[in-house]
Amino acid sequence: MSNIFSYEVPKIDSESFFTELEDENVTIKTIVSNTLATPQTFVQECDEWVVVLQGCAKIEMDGLTHKLKKGDTLFIPAGTEHTLLKTKKIVIWLAVYINK
């Protein structure tokens, strides 16, 4: 058993990833972002669904900027470039990666 809200705070402008569950087709991770000011671009080989559990963030995907706050979700299809533009203070995400 683990607690998503028990985490070590990463350094400013960085993130930590914690695997909560790993299966053949699904991986669930807790991501903790600490005051990101440097944009970070990602492209996953699998579908990704994220929910913000704490904090707020801005993600750019397909030319649109998504402002996410606590409780907001976003689906990111496999192979889609997306950029985490900024976070405000500590952001805790739950990310579900789906392999087809």
Mean pLDDT of the chain: 94
In this prediction the pTM is 0.91
Tokens standing for residue 74: 């976003």
Highest mean pLDDT (candidates 3-7, 48-52, 88-92): 48-52
What CATH topology corresponds to 14-98? Jelly Rolls (2.60.120)
The answer to whether the Cα torsion of 25, 42, 18, 53 is positive or negative is: negative
Q: What is the DSSP string of 61-88?
A: ETTEEEEEETT-EEEE-TT--EEEEEEE
Per-residue pLDDT tens digits for 12-33: 999 999 999 999 999 999 999 9
What is the rounded CA–CA span in Å between residue 79 and residue 95?
16
Looking at residue 1, what is its pLDDT? 60
Please state the domain extents for the chain.
Answer: 14-98
pLDDT tens per residue, range 58-85? 999 999 999 999 999 999 999 999 999 9
* Predicted local confidence at residue 32, as pLDDT: 96
> The tokens of 71 are what?
């409780």
